[in-house]
Amino acid sequence: MKVRTPCSPLEKIMPCMRSTPAREKHLNDRLVGVDPSNPGDELSGFGTGEVDILTGGAGHNTFVLGDEANVFYDDGDPLTVGESDLAFITDFDASRNTIQLKGSADLYILDFFTSETGTIDADLLYDPGTSAREEVIATLQDVSPDLALSDSAFTFV
């Protein structure tokens, strides 16, 4: 476990952040920060260049970070780590929520760190094994350091 200083990825990009508009919370939400029906182009599709703040609230929520065809928030640039395009999940609870990802668990890494506020957070990294560095696709705020990609909280399509 490491302590991240001087700030988390979200704090680094706050000045240029575009967040998902707040919406009314219901039980059992499916939260998708990108529009999968509008891929845009290679520079703007599926979350590229945007930071979405996802908050599920009460109930059993699914945070969708990929579908059968796409990994969301992957800019495809092997020279960046993806801190300018990611989902920031504020209330992930592995006992009642799930995260949907494309592919399989071996394509992802959880990188735990202590935030400046003292919570244990985790960057969810996508690593297809084809580039020099992993891509941050999400930051999970205030999670258990025992969280693992093999947990039932992660589903793969």
Considering the entire predicted model, what is its pTM?
0.78
Q: How far apart are CA 61 and CA 132, in angstroms?
A: 33
Q: Are 65 and 73 in contact (CB under 8 A)?
A: yes
Q: Are 123 and 138 in contact (CB under 8 A)?
A: yes
Flag whether pLDDT at 131 surpasses 80: no
* Token pair for 49: 């260049």
Tens of pLDDT, residues 48-59: 778 889 999 888
Q: How far apart are CA 120 and CA 2, in angstroms?
A: 10
Tens of pLDDT, residues 18-35: 444 444 455 677 888 776
Flag whether pLDDT at 60 surpasses 70: yes
The residue among 86, 108, 87 whose CA lies nearest residue 154 is 108
Amino acid at 44: S
Q: What is the pLDDT of residue 25?
A: 52
Return mean pLDDT, the chain: 79
Mark 36-70 as b/e (b = at least 16 C-beta within 10 Å): beeeeeeeebbbbebbbbbbbeeeebbbbbbbeeb
**C-alpha distances in Å from residue 108, one per residue of 117, 136, 152:** 26, 10, 15
The band of 88, judged by pLDDT with boundaries at 50, 70 and 90, is very high
- List the end-to-end C-alpha distance of the chain, in Å, as a whole number: 29
Q: What is the pLDDT of residue 109?
A: 96
CA angle, corner 138, sides to 110 and 53, nearest 5? Answer: 145
The band of 98, judged by pLDDT with boundaries at 50, 70 and 90, is very high
Q: Looking at per-residue confidence, does 108 or 33 come out higher?
A: 108
Q: Are 62 and 100 in contact (CB under 8 A)?
A: yes
Least confidently predicted of 14-18, 48-52, 114-118, 151-155: 14-18
